[in-house]
Structure 1
Amino acid sequence: MTSSSIPGRRLLAKGALAGAAALLLDAAPAFAADRDTTRRSAREAAPLLRLHLPAPAGPYAVGSKTLHLVDSSRNDPWKPEIGVRELMVTVLQPAVPGRGFPRAPQLTPGAASAFSDLCWRIHPHLPKAGVDWAATLTHARVCAPPLPGHRPVLLYSPGGGDARTMGSALAVDLASHGWTVITVDHPGDASEVEFPSARPGRERVRHTVLLGPPDAATFRTMIDTRVADLRFVLDALDLDRVGVYGHSAGGTAAAQALHEDRRITAAVNLEGYLDQMDGELLPVARQGTNRPLLLAGTDGFRDARLDRSWAALLAHAGPVARRQLDNAQHWAFTDYAALVPQLQSAGLMTASGRAAMVGRAGPHVTVPAVRHLVGSFFARHLPR
């Protein structure tokens, strides 16, 4: 209520004024409740925030298609009742330019609905409401015809608890520079994965089992499964001489897959540990590698465990390099680098939440820096 609603004309008698004042005092709690309800209703009725991903910087248009791959030779470690291991992957390729094909959404409708419910549990700084997660578009065109010619292939493995979709901007940018990029989901630890249809043992949209930090056994299963997933994609798509890059647990898997599979020519580990949670070094860190491997981290996430496991690998003679992004945090290697500042600007995330997720550097710094790190590495070791 505003002061204009209080009777205040001189014509009113003192008794009437006193009575009105008493009436207003008695009703104050009700007015406050009405005001809170009005504000809450206004927030709920406000348009949901639509987020935007940065455009790619390469010379090529990019086409997108999605594949459902089934590995009948092994079972799913997180849901054995399924009976097989299933993956969803997105293939991004340099494409014939044109606007006759719609831009691919970052999240399918089913995945967006699930992500809206799950995101703040996986990343506590993300808002519980206020965002239209289904509205974000990538800069790839659905089913746009690929340009002719053979192109080197890069595989992407996302971080633990994240889906392949949160690496869309970097993947599209790499494709715009001439690579074929395949982003791989790891169902069970990915936040959500939407399949073409349901099947016995799972619904159409499958949710993560990771709603908190994994224990040692879960982490071991996660890395072993991811390495097997990446190698299966190579088998299923008959790929050879490829590059692999990944973030966090995906970076761990990329480095270990490089060690295990000679079809992988080079790899980038974006801030993934090279040991188990009990301190046991992974074979790639114990034995080293004779193929190019980039270790890229941030100053905000760096800790003793990361330094120890990376130092063990760097102690071996081999083509391994380490780089660091300053004023950045762990998820600056993902789409969150561009999305989180938009959430803060809209009042849906605090400055401290932003700093905890992506650091204080702006996307105009971190996005091109990450693109340069990954793109220049593969340009040297897996040229287009």
Structure 2
Amino acid sequence: MRIGIEAQRLFRPNKHGMDIVALEFIRALQRLSSTHEFYIFVKPDQDDTCLTETTNVHIVRIRAGNYALWEQVFLPYYVRKYRLDVLHCTANTAPLFLKVPLLLTLHDVIFLEKSSQPNTRTLYQRLGVLYRRWVVPRVVERCQKIITVSGYEKKHILERLSLRADQVEVVYNGVSERFFEKPSAVELRAARKRHQLPERYLFFFGNTDPKKNMVNVVKAFGLLAPEMPDLYLVVADTSTRTMKRLLEKIGQERLMERIVVTNYLSADQLPAVYAQATVFLYPSLRESFGLPLLESMACGIPVVTSSVSALPEVAGQAAFYTNPTDPASIKETLKRALLATQERQMNIAAGYRQAALFTWENTARTTLRLYEEVAG
């Protein structure tokens, strides 16, 4: 069978959720013994060594303009050119006109939901939302199977898009083995120096997307900081400029001296930053999965996360849960994670076990079965 996998943004240097999922899933497919031929469709970019070809996995570079043009015009042409038996689109959207069976990984339908939070998305993020709002309701009608990443998200997809339960399959993400491997002393020192990491810090992924809840995280840290003068907040995936603007907006400019901004961290850099954190903080307002939860658990770090959306489904009994809409609740939960020694150690041990349940090999095997099912 000839299987196409759309991974348009796979080679971009600063990968995020869906890009990382696609990369790890394809790598796991390469490790499986399979007689099928796989064609990975990507857009040329800087990080073109993150995936290498193998005997039955071929990389096809498609040079085109914007995201929509690449997907709606050029991708269908290459599907015909390579005479594919099935196409799997990995990032929420897909071509509207195809003559082969189509699988779509629909990570979430957050873009269809109204939010009471201020719209802090960038222009790029807003255009992406508009594109998904237009394409997704139309393309799901043409899919032989839709994959999503949690039972929670499946429920929302069925409600929002009026689909039958048998049309949507839950396939959990995995966690890379690199996060279970303890970084060496040399790697830890290098990370501390490179990113100017303090001795004790909370680790958090900042983002302009409202669902990441950066405003309430910073407010909670502002409540906690006076009580713990040696504790810092390390924020990845944002900029110093963005952080300063946020602090000015909430009247907490002085807090900047207790915040370290690392900007983007690659997958190879993350383990050493996770491993030296005192607590990993992930109190999102809405997630369909939450891959960083498993990464931090695999690194042996206690996790504070939200009691809403798919986060309890992924974190199980291995996290400290909080109300993400209430900075005071986040602060008190952080204090428990920092000071309740016995509970902290229990959650660390439970975190290792929880993370080990999610493997990319399981993701690949289940998805391969779906390819065979829809292709007949």
What TM-score does the superposition give when structure 1 sets the normalisation length? 0.38
Select the structure of larger CA radius of gyration.
1
Structure with the higher helix share, 1 or 2: 2
What TM-score does the superposition give when structure 2 sets the normalisation length? 0.39
